[in-house]
Amino acid sequence: MNTIKSTWIGWGALCVAGGGAYYFAKRSINADRLTRFDATQKRKDEMAKAEASARVWTQIPPSPPWRDRIDSRASLTDIWYWLKAAAEQSKAAVARAGQLNSGSQKDDAYSPSEELGHDPAPTRHEPDTDAQRLAEKGKYEAAEVFRSRKGDRFS
């Protein structure tokens, strides 16, 4: 018989069963998330270790090119002249690179107002003739702006 007491018992059992299902489902979902998070962290740690070991090997400076020419009998003056020649070669390379970059480009990064003067015009200029106006229009653009015969909605 469906009395008020049996209805309360039915709804109560349904709520308890739903709460239990939610609890166990949430528990398994959280366990899955934790497993995925641990796997991701492990992968990230391995990648960071690999990058760090690669970085260590690339930071070791290579031996100078004159190192193979130096033997135990080389005097300090020989080493001095070799170092001086290497420094002059590097200065010449830097000067050549500076000449290549100094063409028509000027580096005005230190002065924004001067840099602004070298930029092209930021806006589009109006065309002078109808032919230019039509050439600028896209395939689906109207040649003239639509104007209603009734006027705009504010008049």
What is the pLDDT of the chain when averaged over all its residues? 76
* pLDDT tens digit sequence for 98-108: 665 555 555 66
What's the pTM? 0.32
Q: At 143, is the secondary structure helix, strand, or coil? A: coil
Straight-line distance from the first to the last Cα atom of the chain, in angstroms, rounded to the nearest whole number? 75
d(CA 104, CA 118) in angstroms, rounded, equals 11
| Identity at 118, one-letter amino acid code | H
| Identity at 124, one-letter amino acid code | R
